[in-house]
Amino acid sequence: MPAIPTFRAEIDLVDCEVDGRIPDDLNGAFYRVGPDFQYPPKFPQNIPFDGEGHVSMFRFSAGRVDLKSRYVRTQRFKAQRRAGRAVFGMYRNPFTDDAGLESVSRGTANTTVLYHAGRLLALKEDSPPVAMDALTLETIDDYVTFGGKLSSRTFTAHPKIDPETGELIAFGYEAKGLGSNDVAIITIDRDGNLTRESWIKVPYVGMLHDFAVTQRHIAFLAIPMAFNLAQMKAGGVHFAWDSTLPSWFGVMRRHGDGSDLRWYKGPERCATHVMGAWSDGDKCYVDMDMAKKNQFPFFPNLHGEPFDPVGAAGVVTRLSVDLSKKSDAYDMKVLFPDNGVLPRQDDRYQTIPYRYGFMPTVDLSVPPHPAVTGRPFRPNNCYTKFDHATGRTQTCRAGNTVALQECCFAPKRPDAPEGDGYILGMAEQMLECNRSDLLILDTADLEAGPVATVRLPFRIYGQVHGWWVSANDLPAAA
Binding site for ligand V55 (CB under 6 A): 35, 49, 110-111, 125, 209, 272, 464
End-to-end CA distance of the chain, in Å? Answer: 46
Share in percent of the chain as helix, strand, coil (round to 5) = 5, 40, 55
Cβ pair 255, 315 in contact under 8 A: no
Shortest approach of ligand V55 to residue 415 CB, angstroms? 32
CA–CA separation, 338 and 340 (whole Å) = 6
CA–CA separation, 125 and 36 (whole Å) = 17
CA–CA separation, 374 and 382 (whole Å) = 20
CA–CA separation, 341 and 131 (whole Å) = 27
> 29 burial class (0-12, 13-18, 19+ CB within 10 angstroms)?
buried
CA distances from 240 to 34, 50, 173, 228, 373 (A): 22, 16, 17, 6, 26
Nearer to ligand V55, 170 or 464 (CB): 464
Cross-strand partners of 274:
288
What DSSP state is assigned to residue 301? B
- Give the contacts of 253 (CB within 8 A, at least 6 positions apart): 216, 217, 218, 260
Nearer to ligand V55, 126 or 437 (CB): 126
CA–CA separation, 144 and 192 (whole Å) = 11
